[in-house]
Amino acid sequence: MTGRLSLAATPIGNVGDASARLRAALTEADVIAAEDTRRLKDLARRLDLSVSAEVIALHDHNERDRAGDLVQRAVGGQWVVVVSDAGMPTVSDPGFRVVEAAVAAGVVVDVLPGPSAVLTALALSGLPTDRFCFEGFLPRKEGERARALAGLAAEQRTMVFFEAPHRLAATLRAMVEAWGGEREAAVSRELTKTYEETRRGPLVELAEWAVAGEPRGEIVVTVAGRSAQAPTLEALVSEALARVAAGERAKDAVADLATTSGVPRRDLYAAVLAAREDARR
């Protein structure tokens, strides 16, 4: 008997989104590696399923140690199913190290597709979907977050982020500082649930809304990429100063912006120095 490893997407809110393949996997698998075993049991209860598989906890703190054992079980002929609390395993959730080890061992790996908070929020945002990137959770520390956002300043694809409710306001304010308040964005919460909500508008308006009352539930932030239109010298100077304030060397920030914008490096550097001098007066 040939074993295999399956990554199974679980509902992100509405249990009715559980696929027939997920239902079969939960009842027929030999081993289920779950991010939270209690949530898995609750999901099975709500789906009215009987789980006979051995259920093993697989989370960020033990995945490195558990990966080898799970792969050996698949090598031995067992069907190992990996599930996260919601959505697709490996996408800001455990599972990557298990897949990495399985691929190295020549184990068959397949996916049972299903709900995705990333794609659901992207589709709801009203922003361009032809090209996008997923950035997961931004760093929690203010300086690290500012540097991460500065590094995305030239990104032209629509960007999707996960965020915790209590950090949403600070993150949106940081985005305003890094990219300007007029950048279009959307904040989605409680996706597929009864109180699902998506707010759309300029970053500055969304930041004000988040500050006024902390939104609850799981949050996805979708932000438009930078316009392909050539930026003005003033905009480039502002972006360079923001990156310098976040800890980047002025020469490095100017070199990067000059390359992406086509503006002569000497002219941009001179404008940045002049702006810094004016700010000191």
Instruction: Supply the CATH number for residue 73's domain.
Output: 3.40.1010.10
Tens-place pLDDT, residues 46-89: 999 999 999 999 999 999 999 999 999 999 999 999 999 999 99
Q: Tell whether 91 and 131 lie within a shared domain.
A: no
CATH of the domain at 140: 3.30.950.10
Q: Quote the pTM value.
A: 0.81
Please identify, among 115, 147, 169, the residue that sits at the C-terminal boundary of a domain.
Answer: 115
Q: Tell whether 187 and 214 lie within a shared domain.
A: yes
* Domain assignment present for 228: no
Q: Tell whether 125 and 172 lie within a shared domain.
A: yes
Q: Tell whether 8 and 105 lie within a shared domain.
A: yes
* Domain assignment present for 186: yes
Q: Tell whether 178 and 216 lie within a shared domain.
A: yes
Q: Please give the Cα distance from 180 to 158 (Å, whole number).
A: 15
Q: CB–CB of 95/7 below 8 Å?
A: yes
Task: Give which of 21, 18, 61, 71 is closest to 40, Cα–Cα.
Answer: 18
* Domain assignment present for 135: yes
| CA terminus-to-terminus distance, the chain | 77
Distance from CA of residue 96 to its chain's centroid? 15
- Split at pLDDT 50, 70, 90, the class of 140 is very high
Containing 31, the helix (H) or strand (E) segment is strand 31-34
Residues 89, 90, 96, 102: is their CA dihedral positive or negative?
A: positive
Q: What is the four-CA torsion angle of 122, 127, 130, 135, rounded to 10 degrees? A: -50
Q: CB–CB of 90/116 below 8 Å?
A: no
Report pLDDT for 1.
54
Q: Please give the Cα distance from 172 to 185 (Å, whole number).
A: 10
8-34 average pLDDT score: 97
* Domain assignment present for 246: yes
Q: Tell whether 172 and 249 lie within a shared domain.
A: no
197-207 average pLDDT score: 97
Q: Please give the Cα distance from 221 to 162 (Å, whole number).
A: 6
Domain count, the chain: 3
Calculate what percentage of the chain has a pLDDT beyond 70.
Answer: 99
Q: Tell whether 176 and 141 lie within a shared domain.
A: yes
Q: Tell whether 97 and 181 lie within a shared domain.
A: no
* Domain assignment present for 157: yes
* Domain assignment present for 206: yes
Q: Residue 223 phi/psi, 5° resolution?
A: -130, 135
Q: Tell whether 164 and 247 lie within a shared domain.
A: no
Q: Tell whether 248 and 262 lie within a shared domain.
A: yes
Q: Which residue has the tokens 């996008």?
A: 132
Please identify, among 202, 223, 244, the residue that sits at the C-terminal boundary of a domain.
Answer: 223
Q: Please give the Cα distance from 239 to 69 (Å, whole number).
A: 48
* Domain assignment present for 52: yes
* Domain assignment present for 69: yes
Please identify, among 80, 115, 150, the residue that sits at the C-terminal boundary of a domain.
Answer: 115
**Domain range spanning residue 262?**
233-280
